[in-house]
Homo-oligomer: A and B are copies of this chain.
């Protein structure tokens, strides 16, 4: 009664609608890794040709042959276990397709390829995450502006405190999202770098040309050029992890606020297209907020794993490098999915200002009204890029 293999393939992604929403998942899929691995080998050959280390013809042939459909991907996956990574069998196959096998992967080691691929993939995925964050920021700005003067009871320690406005609440979301966005953007532009060092990170096989080759490879691939090969300096991975973990933390805060405001007893906001229940037809679950929270919750542990994996031994780690692949992938997916859910949540949020006013009145709190809030909202809208 086991499902057939074709069924199994179609079923791939059973939880992806919830946990891998948005465009990021595809960008970290195996196909994307393979694609990027080939792209790096092609780039390397092209740069080698420019530096006359290999011929233009050899580089052109590599570019022509570096196509997934010419490779036996099943064999690559299977043989990856023998060497501990998929680059060794991929390079072997690619070498089998070209006239001069030595022109392939010249001066590089497996980690050079995978580290650079990781950065390429992160760069593209962060682009998508930034799009979703930008949309969420736009939505938060819209809410802040529209509700600049909508009074709401402020709540501290989950108790009614003193009045504020929903606009200021949304402006708080806006500022936090913008800070997270800024950090993701900085990491994307400044910290994602090409890695090339050869067997022990010395660039030895490239002689004096080493740094120039690295610089050209970086330009070719649209990545930064590092001061030194960073094969055992994982600050870039940590920077990436930290930026994504922070974004998830901000998303979790906003999702929590929305879920709390959407409680029936509070009912100040509602999810615009809520989800049902398999047991209760009347339920209006704030699915977007809840899924955003569920996805974002993956971040702390994944960041911890990536930080704990920074102690790469000598010139290549005895396990810590392998330990990065899965958590980084998962962290990118979790952040992308959380950002996509939050965007949906904020874009379709409906706000019940009457209920806010009623709850405020019922609180019996007669503090002076939140006159100062409008100015703060204006300040946030003015100082934070949200267009």
A222 at the interface (CB under 8 A from B): no
Report whether B14 and A279 are in contact in the complex, using a CB–CB cutoff of 8 Å. no
Residues of B within 8 A of A278 (CB): 83, 87-88, 91, 105, 108-110
Contact of A300 with B by CB under 8 A: yes
A245 at the interface (CB under 8 A from B): yes
Q: Which residues of B contact A200 (CB under 8 A)?
A: 154-156, 161-164, 370
Residue of B nearest to A274 (CB): B159
Q: Which of A43-51, A129-137, A325-333 contacts the other chain?
A: A325-333
- Tell me how far the C-beta of A8 lies from the nearest C-beta in chain B, rounded to whole angstroms: 4
CB distance from A82 to the nearest CB of B (A): 5
Q: How far is the CA of A157 from the CA of B74 in the complex (A)?
A: 26
- Determine if A256 is an interface residue (Cβ-Cβ < 8 Å): yes
Known contacts: A8-B30, A14-B30. The answer to whether A204 contacts B368 by CB under 8 A is yes
Cβ proximity bits A303-322 to B, threshold 8 Å, 1 near / 0 not: 11101111111111111111
Structural contact, A201 and B164, CB atoms closer than 8 A: yes
Contact: A164 with B315, CB < 8 Å? yes
Q: Are B157 and A379 in contact (CB under 8 A)?
A: no
User: Which of B155, B203, B282 is in CB contact (< 8 Å) with A315?
Assistant: B155
| Cross-chain contact B11 with A30 (CB below 8 angstroms) | yes
Which bucket holds chain A's interface residue count? 35 or more
A211 to B372 Cα, complex, angstroms: 10
- The docked-state distance in angstroms from the alpha carbon of A372 to that of B164 is 43
Q: Which residue on chain B has the smallest CB distance to residue A14?
A: B30
* A263 interface residue per 8 A CB criterion: yes
Establish whether residues B379 and A84, one from each chain, have CB atoms under 8 Å apart when the complex forms: no
| Chain B CB within 8 A of A57 CB | no
Cross-chain contact B78 with A17 (CB below 8 angstroms): yes
Closest chain-B Cβ to A131's Cβ sits at a distance in Å of 19
Q: Which B residue sits closest to A165, measured CB to CB?
A: B202
**Complex Cα distance A307/B251, Å?**
11
Of B2, B30, B88, B371, the contact of A13 (CB 8 Å cutoff): B30
Asked if B69 contacts A4 (CB within 8 A), the reply is yes
CB-CB under 8 A from A31, the residues of chain B are 2-3, 7-8, 11
Given the interface pairs A156-B283, A275-B84, A307-B246, the reply to whether A202 lies near B168 with Cβ below 8 Å is yes
CA A312 to CA B294, docked complex, whole Å: 11
Q: Is the CB–CB distance between B19 and A161 below 8 Å?
A: no
Q: Mark A235-269, 1 if CB is under 8 A from B, else 0.
A: 10011011101101110110111011011111000
B17 contacts A81, CB within 8 Å?
yes
Q: 29 A-B residue contacts at CB 8 Å?
A: A14-B30, A15-B30, A84-B157, A108-B278, A154-B199, A154-B200, A157-B285, A157-B316, A161-B315, A161-B316, A172-B201, A172-B229, A176-B230, A176-B233, A183-B239, A199-B280, A199-B367, A207-B372, A210-B372, A227-B380, A235-B246, A235-B249, A242-B243, A245-B307, A252-B311, A256-B313, A289-B319, A290-B318, A290-B322
Known: A18-B81, A164-B204, A199-B277. 15 other contacts (CB 8 A): A8-B30, A11-B77, A155-B263, A156-B314, A162-B280, A163-B202, A169-B314, A202-B376, A207-B372, A210-B375, A245-B307, A249-B311, A253-B311, A264-B363, A292-B319
